[in-house]
Amino acid sequence: MPVDATSPARHPFGALPSRPGSQPALREQNQQRIIRALVSSGPQTQAELARQTGLSTATVSNIVKVMALGGMVSTMPTTSSGRRALSVILNDNGSVAAGVDIGRRHIRVVLAGLDYRVLQEEARPLPLGHSAAQGVEAAADLLDKLLDQGRINRPALLGAGIGIPGPIDRRTGTVVQGAILPEWVGINIRETFGERLRVPVFVDNDANLGALAQVAWGPHSSVDNLMFMKIGSGIGAGLVLNGALFYGNVGITGELGHTTISEHGLVCRCGNRGCLETVASTSTMIELLSRGTTDTVNTQDIVTRALAGDTATLRVIDDAGLAIGRAVAHVANLINPELVVVGGPLTELGEILLQPIRRGLTRHAVPIIGESTTVRMSSLGDRAEALGGAAVVLSQPGLTTRPLAPL
């Protein structure tokens, strides 16, 4: 659902959240609550919106005035309980936002309307070790295909939110060392995608977009402090603190996969030893389950075997889950999140993966934190990052309120 705490403030490669607790951040969050109510229940009076959102009638009135001036809503006189009232209607000018998720072996593109309804969606495989040029071309081709399928004119495209599996320096907009796509290191993603797609581009780490999706599209819109964990070839986290995405100093946060778990463990791609990714990533699980066999194991095989009760697979998942829970505990002890949401290609495992994560969390966290932190699987599956990318575009008032370009 369309609750999004990001602000229209810009950094070199996209949108930064307003300062947590600031008036702009609160105003945007309240505006998205009103949009959500209009999407779910249709036109309503301001009094009805106040009751549904929990906001005061004065707050609703002020926000509706701003939205009406920007063209996001229309108002018309009506009557309610025999009294004069103002009905609020969400406008739809046909604009769409694109969300693009680029992974180590895949690309996914979604197109969403202003009402946060997914209009088109498709995923394609990418070759392992693909270059930035290959990724950009795949994104452009798939975007064009979805626009054609949906009979959507290109001027209706507001922009594209791009998710990359790796740290991005917010000062320069470039992918930095430690990305799961080493071929992309040093690439200015915003410029590269902007030149090819010819629309405003907003780029972020995929885990950050996954976290945003949980509150913008998932069932956790009322959660102010949330941690999203993406478990795949790499392991990363996105943090929503006090209702806004947290970026830290230079934009590199949530690199949970490079938390040291075993001091004398394997050397990680980041150069350190014994990182979480070396014991709990899907790549590590595949390597362990491939030993002593000529069979080719992939991520879906892990899920299928675990659900079928394969002993070796369940042991590998249990060990990985305990290690992940230990890393989550270190973060939970610092920020005390209300909710930890687990995403990535293993979401079908459900409690098979969640149970060891919870055990690791409660074993290594301060008792009251371990007991009060909820751990759940994402309901968005492998769509979360692309949906988060679309949400970033839809959160830009300067884009969503502009009239469509002439055809």
Do 162 and 124 lie in one domain? The reply is yes
Do 231 and 162 lie in one domain? The reply is no
Residue 12: the pLDDT is: 30
Residue 185: the pLDDT is: 86
Do 228 and 369 lie in one domain? The reply is yes
More confident residue, 317 or 168: 317
Do 28 and 122 lie in one domain? The reply is no
pLDDT above 50: residue 83: yes
Residue 10: the pLDDT is: 31
Phi and psi at residue 29, to the nearest 5°? -65, -40
Taking the C-alpha atoms of residue 44 and residue 171, their distance in angstroms, rounded to an integer, is 43
Q: What is the CATH number of the domain that holds 29?
A: 1.10.10.10
406 occurs within a structural domain: no
pLDDT, average across residues 106-122: 91
139 occurs within a structural domain: yes
405 occurs within a structural domain: no
243 occurs within a structural domain: yes
147 occurs within a structural domain: yes
Do 106 and 200 lie in one domain? The reply is yes
Domain range enclosing 206: 96-211+385-400
Residue 306: the pLDDT is: 97
345 occurs within a structural domain: yes
216 occurs within a structural domain: no
Q: Report how many domains make up the chain.
A: 3
Confidence of residue 399 (pLDDT cuts 50, 70, 90): low
The residue assigned the tokens 């999706």 is 213
Residues 6+ apart with CB under 8 A from 395: 4, 6, 7, 8, 15, 28, 32, 216
The answer to whether 210 and 238 have CB atoms below 8 angstroms apart is yes
What percent of the chain is predicted at pLDDT more than 70? Answer: 89
Do 375 and 232 lie in one domain? The reply is yes
pLDDT, tens digit, 9 for 90 and up, residues 321-360: 999 999 999 999 999 999 999 999 999 999 999 999 999 9
User: Is the entire prediction scored with pTM above 0.95?
Assistant: no
407 occurs within a structural domain: no
Q: What is the CATH number of the domain that holds 196?
A: 3.30.420.40
Confidence of residue 243 (pLDDT cuts 50, 70, 90): confident
pLDDT above 60: residue 8: no
Q: Which of 90, 107, 123 is the last residue of a domain?
A: 90
What percent of the chain is predicted at pLDDT more than 90? Answer: 47
Do 366 and 295 lie in one domain? The reply is yes
Do 46 and 111 lie in one domain? The reply is no
Buried/exposed 307-341: b ≥16 CB within 10 Å, e otherwise: eeebeebbebbbbbbbbbbbbbbebbeeeebebbb
